[in-house]
Amino acid sequence: MTTSTEHKIVLITGANKGIGFAAARELARAGHTVLLGARDPGRGTEAAADLAAQGLDVRFVRLDVTDPETIKAAADLIDAEYGRLDILVNNAGISRDRPHPPAELPVAALREIYETNVFGVVAVTNAMLPLLRRSPAGTIGNVSSGLGTVDFLTTPDSPLWRYADLLGYNSSKAALNAITLIYAHSLREAGIRVNALSPGYCATDLNGNTGHLSAAEGGAHIARQVTSPDEDATGMFLNENGGTYAW
């Protein structure tokens, strides 16, 4: 497994703001080339320009994880310009749960959540796998949440129990955790490690900025987790403070 000091080509989805943007900044500061994926060209271009103005090797790549055409175009661009991908961070995620209790969440909203948080991850991962296979040490990091673990959902005395009723978000992250384990198993022999990542409970637009960590702190955790030199770290839910979470 290569170390974090070796130059890597990194793609981060949903990276024009919040944790994704912060992770892009941290990885670029470490000397890596970061492809900042975003569905909105204006916001993505502005975010990439902000980091490039700081002397960082960051480039905007239009990528809507729910749009197969932009996914293919992004893969084709990376193939043509770089010939490989070393790190994929599936960061894009949404929640449409509030203010609905589980029994009142519109099925259309549930589908929208899954399109981004689950199906989008699979679509992007599959499109980027040929490029990741060309890396000497391909890494896939799926930004997840402890809210989607069975451990959390069966622990009523958790300090975050008030969020246990997020039907769409929590179940989509549970599905993402399972997807992570399945890909980790299937790609182990190819030398591609696949982990779920926890940035911690960060204040972002997704949760109304209620988290106790900043997006910058969460991004730093993600950057560290995907550049860890531990070659055995695959099929795990990496804790923001080191170690792992229970599934």
Active site residue: 8, 163, 173, 245, which one?
A: 173
Nearest-CA neighbor of 233 among 122, 127, 140, 135?
A: 140
Establish whether 201 is a catalytic residue: no
Long-range contacts of 199-204 (CB under 8 A, 24+ apart): 199/19, 199/143, 199/240, 200/240, 200/241, 201/160, 202/18, 202/19, 204/18, 204/19
72 catalytic, yes or no?
no
Helices 68-81 & 120-132 angle (0-180, nearest 10): 20
Cα–Cα distances (Å) from 189 to 140, 227, 238, in that order, read 14, 20, 21
Catalytic residue among 8, 163, 169, 245: 169
Catalytic residue numbers, as ranges: 169, 173
